Structure 1
Amino acid sequence: MMKKYLSNLNLYILLFFCFFIYSFGLSGDFLFDDYPNLEPLGTYGTIDSWDKGKNFINSGFAGPTGRPISLASFLINDNTWPSLAYSFKYTNIMIHLLNGVLLCWAILLLLRNYNYKEQQAIWIALIASSIWLLHPYFVSTTLYVVQRMAQLATLFTLIGIVGYLKARLLLPYKPLQAYFYMAISIGICTILATYSKENGALLPLLVLVLEFCNPNKTYKPIWQWRALCLWLPSFAVLYLIFRKLNFSEDLWPNRNFNQVERLYSEARIVTEYLYHLFFPQIEGRGLYQDGYLVSKSILQPITTLYSIIFLIGLALSAFIYKNKYPLFSVAILFFFAAHMMESTVIGLELYFEHRNYLAALFLFLPVAAALYTLKEKIEPKLVYFIIVIIFSILSFFTYERAKLWGNTDELLLYWAKNTPESPRAQSTIAMTLMEQGYILESKQHLEQSLERMPQSALLNMQLLLQKVSYGIATEEDFKLTTERLAKQPFDAQAIQGLRVLTEGIIANEQQCIRYCQFTLGLIQHLDQHAGYNKISVYRRMSPYLQAKIYLAMHQESLALASYYEAIKRYNDVEAGLMMVAELGTHGSAQNALNLLNKVNEVYQQQDVSKLRRSKAEYDMEIPRLKKVLTDQIKSNSDR
């Protein structure tokens, strides 16, 4: 009892210490994907009703499920936008600590199921979960607000594993109760984890790994139950993942790699993940991963071949030594299984640290077990000294990294300077120089970066944007930008730059006189570019931007025709109503009414489940707008 009390006390001290270290990162701001995911908090004003809350929860676009549980969790911190990052980061830290507690419990239950002695199980569980909890690699997941999605998927996965392992211990005594609770734990938690982030669907496969590595064959779930509750959902998820196998050359027009190149590259990346997990550092690659070197073949670069051999050897050893070293096999096979979705054939960006948050849960089990074995063979005080050294290094690195994350400007510049091959990083440096008033230096930096990275559409568009914003852009600059874009691969951020360019010039009449026609020509030229025409976001946006430019140029008939085409491509009543408002504000009421009628046609055909607001709201809003525009037309005709 005394040892259990001391173990609990050690865990509480660890949690408090971990929070203290992470608290230095609370002063950081929002980053990158935080903005598009959280801005809908303010789309319809303050979220103060169920309908507005539901609209936000259903506004997700980050994955096929929309991740509504993760979005709902953000309402804990605020119900409007703009907001402050502090409370969001605080909640993320609390979730990280809770995950640490659940991991400790899960390991303890795992070892009990594997027939480890209680004292040994407690000791290993505490050490292994402490390493995971204090590891600097997970600072980027915890302090990057939007990665709460990865945290919640891990949270529900851990709850499912705990529930399964706890119920499994009942098999010798209450088998029916055990099967029921095991099934419930896996079923409910898989759903909750998946609707937090899609890789939560891997929970049955991860439990299958734990079951496969279990050396205790005395009490094992019957094969019928395993087939129904573990094998069937695991194969279903793997089928959904690997049915995307497609080795065609131009599978992903918005990526600079195809599927074969992605698989080759991921071999190097997963190897790098493992290296950084076992040899931690203060700050890694950060979020500027667009410049990561793609493996063009198994020998280019040669580290691709070395990585493939290493990973195959690691996987084989996990199978070969499963009975002799079950914790080693659990660590490796769980890690690989958890990477099945994000590090194989799906066309995601190549490299992100947060993909290891779930995958590394049991990775440090062999380390803790080895330390326990060592404790029995040499002087225990020496082993405790080694543990203190390990914890001290991890704590120091995590503290330094959290402190860096607490200063967003410094963090972004650190990443930018340490990733010279990243266009996004160089874009950040140029923007920082411009914000500090170094206009010429910013322009020179972009031009030099473009010389090194001529394929970057992002840097190309940013250079034009900066010249336009300071009124020094010429027709030649627009022509040069157009020529470069025609040769450069699609870049979503470059397209966002095109939107910013359009919004900027139409807001200023003098800017529009100088640049509207040039910008229109640029967009129309891209319409003929095969690479851009394949991208749905650009196909929708192109006629919309053209409509706004025509409207600013007082060519209302052309604007109306472009708005018609935009509504057809968006096929969304909310987007259509926004266009009606623009045309009604800056154009004639009659054309706005004609456009509203077109929007109403879209509304009548739109799936009710995909509406951003309730059907009742649209049933009131569309007739109200129609009456306002009709009254305005009558008023104008009476004058």
Structure 2
Amino acid sequence: MKSLNDQKKWQKLAWLFLLGVIFLVYSPGLSGGFIFDDYPNILEDENIILKEISWGEVSRVSQTGTAGPLKRPVAVVSFALNIFFTGMNPWFFKLTNIIIHLLNTLVLGFLIKQLLQVWHRRYGYKKVSNYSQNAFGWVGWLTAAIWALHPFNLTSVLYIVQRMTSLSTFFGLAALALFIQIRNETAWADKVRVQWWSLVSKLVLIILLMLFSVLSKENGLLFLGLMVLVEFFVFRFEIFGKIKYIWNRSFYFWASYGMVVVVASVILWNISFITNPERIYFRDFSTPERLMTEARVLVIYLRDIFMPDISVMSLYHDDIDISRSLLNPVSTIFSIFFLVIVSVFCVCIIKAFPIALFAWLWFLISHSMESTWLPLELMHEHRNYFAIIGFCMAISIGLVTAVRKFGNKLCIAVLGILFVLGSSTFVRSYEWKEPMTMSKMEALRHPKSMRANYQLGRDLLVAFDNGLKDDRVLDEATIAFEQAAKANFPSVGPYFGLLFVEFRRKNSDEEHVNSLVKKIEETLRTKTTEASYPAYIDSLLKCQLASQCRINDMDMLAIMVAAIENKSVFPVQKGEILKMAAQYAVSRGNDWGYAQELAEMAIQQNDSAATRIFYAQILKNRDKRVAAAEQIEIAEKLDDAKIYRELLNREKIILNPDVSQ
């Protein structure tokens, strides 16, 4: 008994040590800044700023998200709370992310210990000894350590906006742990010993946790699939020690049959979309091409999980070649073949090593949303945040088993593995400590990435604007943007960047400026539309209105017309650009009549509250106050999330001073 107590004490110390090491490994990255999608989702979104801590304000902010179909209100509110208490300092945002990662580590350790207890009961002997209980604790600790220190998870922690992923994982893991606890009580326990009120309360809590997981990020829904996976492998639909039968077939059989039917139905329901050879909006690939490419992406993920090499890891993976056919590139067919072989192999050894198939299915289920036919970007490391847990568990079981079999000397090898993982993550974290350092490393490692090179050029311009007034900085920015323009999938963004560089020079080359403007027009008109088109144009408009950029008004109008005339442009984008054109007509030429025409065209393309408010302001300035008031009423109806509540109230007071707030 004394030995068991000593072991528990050592495990507690090990957990404290692990949490300290995790914080130490990630601490260099705390000084880093906002990057990429942090800007539109946090830094540039005034709507997520809480004016006070009240239910009304929290409810309003929760509906302002734009990152997913469900608006991800839980994550958005967490960002808003960060801003309310600590301002826009990225240090505190990243600190919050690290704390969430630490909580996930603790929950994961508890979950794995629980899972191993029931796993051992299914696949091992019935009575679990004290020594086995202690071993389960160490496997849980080691699984959490490998997972938490793995460099592949860094972007899920230090990339601020990916709190959406880590929060979703926290609630999902907690729900899964509670599910295992409930099933352990109901699968094998005596019916009379079950505390029904406790069971019901836990079920309600699981539902709430799953709701919070999905409302943090939609792929939280996949934890339902992981619950089903655990049910199939461990509990097998047993209730109070009995196997239930329907029409002389076990419920396990019918559940297996039902899963096949569900998966087949989902595929058949989406078959027209899956096989559609047309390019996806905002993407340079079709759905079949995406599916073929994802086979290669999954193999790359597996390589980076089992052979982590930070020299190929990156925030940006937009340089990956698209699979245009099974043989273009030829690695496509080999990747598909490899995935099939692994699947067959895991099925063949299921009796001897069921954990192999369990870990493999955990990985595939975790990628079933973001790595299949949904029209998302092709590759992101944060998609593996909870996908690698099954592999970490399988590796930990093997390592702990080896230590028990061959002696504690192998502990040095285990600690060596953790040291390699932790030091790799520390190096990546150190690279993220300062935006310029990170940008240079990202561009160095992925020279064919448009985003990596564009980010470097953008950071160099920021450095120039913040006091580093040296033409060599502008020369470096030019090289970065030119490299971005040569990327695998060129964008119009680098040409905007080159234009911004040119206008920062003391003597800009007018001929070069005209050449860039023509290139921007051509690209906007002919290239497949990017989601960033309105953002690029908006940046140029602000630069123009601030007199930093010096494009003549006809060229500015030509740029906007080129974007609108693109056949692949979305109505929402077209509406945004038309609204920008209307605002430009007012700001530069005080042409309210032309602005009204453009605003009416914008409403036809994208009828939004913001556009209606601007249209009302135009009508008001043209002395059409009754029509303006009607537009404000329409805007109020369109403003479901109450984002423009204060602005609408101000406009109503201006139109009718007798109207009270």
Q: Name the TM-score class by shorter chain.
A: 0.7 to 0.9
Deviation at 1:232, TM superposition (A): 8.3
One of 596, 600, 604 as aligned partner of 1:564 = 600
Deviation at 1:578, TM superposition (A): 4.8
Deviation at 1:354, TM superposition (A): 0.6
SS at match of 1:130: helix
- Paired position in structure 1 for 2:227: 207
- Paired position in structure 1 for 2:655: 626
Deviation at 1:450, TM superposition (A): 3.3
One of 583, 597, 612 as aligned partner of 2:643 = 612
One of 60, 69, 89 as aligned partner of 2:65 = 60
CA distance in 1, matches of 2:254, 2:72: 26
SS at match of 2:539: helix
1:266-310: CA deviation from partner (whole Å, max 9, x where unpaired) = 111111111111112335432222222111111111221221112
Q: How does 1:423-502 map to 2 (within 5 A)?
A: 423-434=450-461, 435=464, 436=468, 437-438=471-472, 439-440=474-475, 442-443=477-478, 446-447=481-482, 449-450=484-485, 455-468=490-503, 472-473=509-510, 474-502=513-541
- 1:562 is matched by which residue type in structure 2? L
CA distance in 1, matches of 2:502, 2:396: 57
CA distance in 2, matches of 1:503, 1:569: 23
CA contact (8 A) 2:143 2:396 kept: yes
Deviation at 1:326, TM superposition (A): 2.2
Q: Is residue 2:421 matched to residue 1:414?
A: no
Q: 1:540 to 1:348 in 2, by over 3 A?
A: same
CA distance in 1, matches of 2:99, 2:245: 39
Deviation at 1:264, TM superposition (A): 1.0
- Paired position in structure 2 for 1:589: 621
- Paired position in structure 1 for 2:322: 294
When the two chains are superposed, the root-mean-square deviation of aligned CA atoms in Å is 3.3
CA distance in 1, matches of 2:253, 2:540: 56
CA contact (8 A) 1:42 1:81 kept: no
Q: How does 1:105-184 map to 2 (within 5 A)?
A: 105-114=110-119, 115=121, 117-171=132-186, 172-173=189-190, 174=193, 177=196, 180=200, 183-184=203-204
Q: Is residue 2:431 matched to residue 1:404?
A: yes
Q: 1:49 to 1:128 in 2, by over 3 A?
A: closer
SS at match of 1:362: helix
- Paired position in structure 2 for 1:4: 8
Q: Is residue 2:585 matched to residue 1:550?
A: yes
SS at match of 1:531: coil
CA contact (8 A) 1:40 1:56 kept: no
CA distance in 2, matches of 1:592, 1:240: 53
CA distance in 1, matches of 2:382, 2:261: 25
One of 487, 511, 528 as aligned partner of 2:565 = 528
One of 237, 245, 248 as aligned partner of 2:276 = 248
SS at match of 1:612: coil
CA distance in 1, matches of 2:336, 2:556: 47
CA distance in 2, matches of 1:158, 1:466: 47
User: Percent of aligned positions with the same letter in both sequences?
Assistant: 24
CA distance in 2, matches of 1:555, 1:598: 22
- 1:17 is matched by which residue type in structure 2? V
CA contact (8 A) 2:185 2:194 kept: yes
Deviation at 1:334, TM superposition (A): 0.7
CA distance in 1, matches of 2:100, 2:173: 12
State which drifts further: 396-405 or 463-472.
463-472
1:74-109: CA deviation from partner (whole Å, max 9, x where unpaired) = 234222896101111111111111111111111111
- 2:209 is matched by which residue type in structure 1? C
Scaled by the length of structure 1, the TM-score of the pair is 0.87
Deviation at 1:238, TM superposition (A): 9.0
CA distance in 1, matches of 2:66, 2:294: 24
CA distance in 2, matches of 1:454, 1:320: 41
CA contact (8 A) 2:156 2:165 kept: yes
- Paired position in structure 2 for 1:30: 34
- 1:47 is matched by which residue type in structure 2? K
CA contact (8 A) 2:319 2:488 kept: no
CA contact (8 A) 1:269 1:351 kept: yes
- 1:625 is matched by which residue type in structure 2? I
SS at match of 1:274: helix
CA distance in 2, matches of 1:80, 1:239: 48
State which drifts further: 38-47 or 357-366.
38-47
Deviation at 1:620, TM superposition (A): 4.1
Matched pairs, number: 618
- 1:576 is matched by which residue type in structure 2? R
CA distance in 2, matches of 1:90, 1:138: 16
- Paired position in structure 1 for 2:25: 21
CA distance in 1, matches of 2:163, 2:259: 25
SS at match of 2:281: coil
CA contact (8 A) 1:208 1:231 kept: no
Deviation at 1:599, TM superposition (A): 2.3
CA distance in 1, matches of 2:243, 2:227: 12
SS at match of 1:334: helix
Q: 1:17 to 1:248 in 2, by over 3 A?
A: same
CA distance in 1, matches of 2:315, 2:433: 15
CA distance in 2, matches of 1:111, 1:318: 19
Q: 1:511 to 1:267 in 2, by over 3 A?
A: closer
CA contact (8 A) 1:244 1:346 kept: no
- Paired position in structure 2 for 1:637: none
Deviation at 1:204, TM superposition (A): 1.7
CA contact (8 A) 2:48 2:61 kept: no
- Paired position in structure 1 for 2:544: 505
- Paired position in structure 2 for 1:48: 52
State which drifts further: 136-145 or 363-372.
363-372
- 1:502 is matched by which residue type in structure 2? L
State which drifts further: 593-602 or 279-288.
593-602
CA distance in 1, matches of 2:579, 2:383: 36
CA contact (8 A) 2:165 2:382 kept: yes
- Paired position in structure 2 for 1:636: none
CA distance in 2, matches of 1:102, 1:306: 37
CA distance in 1, matches of 2:263, 2:164: 19
State which drifts further: 208-217 or 265-274.
208-217
1:504-535: CA deviation from partner (whole Å, max 9, x where unpaired) = 22333x967x5211110221233222022xx2
CA contact (8 A) 1:135 1:395 kept: yes
Deviation at 1:170, TM superposition (A): 1.3
State which drifts further: 455-464 or 256-265.
455-464
CA distance in 2, matches of 1:226, 1:613: 53
Q: 1:239 to 1:197 in 2, by over 3 A?
A: farther
Q: 1:140 to 1:454 in 2, by over 3 A?
A: closer
Q: 1:469 to 1:489 in 2, by over 3 A?
A: farther
Q: 1:602 to 1:235 in 2, by over 3 A?
A: farther
1:127-164: CA deviation from partner (whole Å, max 9, x where unpaired) = 22211121111121111111111011111111111101
- Paired position in structure 2 for 1:634: none
Q: Is residue 2:99 matched to residue 1:94?
A: yes
- Paired position in structure 1 for 2:127: none
CA contact (8 A) 1:201 1:237 kept: no
> Which runs of 5 or more residues in structure 2 are unaligned?
125-131
Scaled by the length of structure 2, the TM-score of the pair is 0.85
One of 170, 193, 213 as aligned partner of 2:213 = 193
- Paired position in structure 1 for 2:128: none
SS at match of 2:622: helix
- 2:41 is matched by which residue type in structure 1? N
SS at match of 2:328: coil
Deviation at 1:352, TM superposition (A): 0.7
Q: 1:10 to 1:550 in 2, by over 3 A?
A: same
